[in-house]
Amino acid sequence: MTITAVEPAPAPPRAHPAPVRVSVARTPLPPHAPLALATELRRLLGEDQVFLFESLAGPDEDCRFAAVGAETLARITVRDGQAVLDGAPELVDRLHPLVDRAAGNVQRLLETLHGAFAVETDVPLDSYAFGFLAVLGYEAAWHLEQLPPRAPGQDPEITLTLFRHVVTYRLDTGESDQLQAHAPEFGGPGVLGDGLAGLVRALPDDAKIPLPAAPEPYAVRRTVRREEFAERVERCLEHIRAGDVYQIQIGHRVEVTTPLAPLDAYRRLRRSNPSPYMYLVPWAGRTLVGASPELLLRIEGRTLAMRPIAGTTARAADPAEDARRVAALHADEKERAEHIMLVDLCRNDVARVSVPGTLAVERMMVVEHFARVHHLVSTVSGQLADGADVFSALRATFPAGTMTGAPKVRAMELIQEIEGRPRGAYAGALGLIDVRGQAATLALCIRTAVHDPVTGSYALQASAGVVADSTADGEWRETLIKMSAVYAALTGEGLTA
């Protein structure tokens, strides 16, 4: 099936195939560590059958939720305009008419999937019960915005994966539940059946597992030299001086080839850089290993929230120096101007799907503290309008303005021209979307390494926001700060200029 990204398609025919009826049983589980469960499930089922989300450190507003998923039921992959559906045969047969009904339009595909399932459960509507592990690469934007044609890439723009089992963790109470989905189309009880509680009771104490050492990397390759990055910054400044844009997020990539396995890389990363949105996620034959600080989108019932980050300084070991850096960050006119610009972008995006009068900036330009850095963070919220749901909110807010610049579409056109290659997963988003349409948590895919098992390499990427008074050296240093934690987890070394 061919998927294109152009004008919103006309309304689809009213006839709609009957939804797949899914019952979701909720079973409380004994206390255990999400990483320990994910590690054991990866051993039992295979690395491509398990995902892990953790929330380990950072602002309380972000450290609320963790999840482990196991046993893939079905997956929709959109790559270069082609949608491929695979999974349990009976489920695929039921979903094919629903996917075909999209008639070649990704926006309609998302709308159609909202009605693909009828879920029976006691899980409240504003919490996750059953749905998709969603990974939207940066290039998914070409299906949601009017952008110039781009060259085909090897990475999928969108993957949407259903799992039979998801364990959710409420970090404020320490409680966890197994959510097990049942439907005739799922083809029996699966590999785990009802045995997850017994598996949890036998898990080892994760804290006693030694932290793996970082082997010496085989090779480290910078795809852009410092001088080339300076030329990119100057091109951005030319467009800013011409009044074409106000800000552009421009970046580069580092590739590390190492025998370090993704699970070991993740264990090292979570120890050195505990973050609110950590993940170990299979993606298109590769693995995403990440420690993202930033929420793209959270929906709980009818409330939509975004938490844009713009403004960064490294933490210092000395408390007095650390306090000085916090004060300097909060007073930095360049950082403040950039942040206000990006908050305005978020306000515009949220307003597109919110009830008039409900748009609010709940927190504005607050310095929040993370394991290795301090960031300027704001919170923008609204109440979803009638007829809006998680899928329409995603269309309105993706990609994040903090990953593009402003105005968003023109900045994206220039990023494509100046960077000259697809970003792939970087600057996209990933998380869980409940099919009932009123619960979702999606983090930005940043501070992430993409592992390719064929080459044994990890790809790291970061960008910096170029504004009128930017310097090439300053923006170069910012990208290295952003990549430093992941680089250190892979190599045991610092990332030098």
Residues 6+ apart with CB under 8 A from 64: 55, 170, 171, 172
Whether 74 shows a pLDDT value over 60: the answer reads yes
Least confident of 55-59, 192-196, 416-420, 424-428: 192-196
Is the pLDDT reported for residue 370 higher than 70? yes
pLDDT at 15: 54
pTM of the model: 0.92
Q: Is 339 a catalytic residue?
A: no
| Domain chopping of the chain, boundaries | 219-261+302-491
For residue range 271-320, list pLDDT tens digits in order.
999 999 999 999 999 999 999 999 999 999 999 999 999 888 889 999 99
56-65 tens-digit pLDDT: 998 888 999 9
Marked catalytic residue, from 312, 428, 465, 491: 465
Please tell me which residue in 138, 266, 279, 426 is annotated as part of the active site.
Answer: 426
* Top mean-pLDDT range of 215-219, 389-393, 450-454: 450-454
Q: Could you report how far apart the first and last alpha carbons of the chain are, in Å?
A: 46
Highest-scoring range by mean pLDDT, 191-205, 239-253, 389-403: 239-253
* Fold designation for 219-261+302-491: Anthranilate synthase (3.60.120)
Q: What percent of the chain has pLDDT over 70?
A: 96
pLDDT on residue 16:
62
Tell whether the model's pLDDT for residue 161 goes beyond 90.
yes
Dihedral sign for Cα 183, 187, 189, 192, please.
negative
pLDDT digits (tens, 9 = 90+) for 252-277: 999 999 999 999 999 999 999 999 99
Asked whether residue 48 carries a pLDDT value surpassing 80, the answer given is yes
Q: Please calculate the CA angle 404-408-412 and round it to the nearest 5 degrees.
A: 55
DSSP per-residue codes, 109-135: HHHHHHTSEEEE-SS-TTS--SEEEEE
pLDDT, tens only, 472-492:
999 999 999 899 999 999 999
Please tell me which residue in 239, 374, 447, 451 is annotated as part of the active site.
447
Q: How far apart are CA 369 and CA 367, in angstroms?
A: 7
114 catalytic residue (yes or no): no
Q: How confident is the model at residue 104 (pLDDT cuts 50, 70, 90)?
A: low
Asked if 357 is an active-site residue, the reply is no
Q: Is the pLDDT confidence value at 212 over 70?
A: yes
Q: What integer pLDDT is reported at residue 327 of this predicted model?
A: 95
The question of whether 165 is a catalytic residue gets the answer no
Tell me which amino acid residue 376 is: L
* Per-residue pLDDT at 103: 58
Q: Which among 375, 395, 423, 451 is annotated as catalytic?
A: 375
Label residue 11 by pLDDT band (50, 70, 90): very low
Q: Which of 402, 404, 441, 448 is catalytic?
A: 402
Query: pLDDT digit string (tens) for 442-478?
Result: 999 999 999 999 999 999 999 999 999 999 999 999 9
Based on the residue annotation, tell me whether 253 is a catalytic residue of this protein.
no
Residues 6+ apart with CB under 8 A from 372: 273, 314, 315, 484, 485
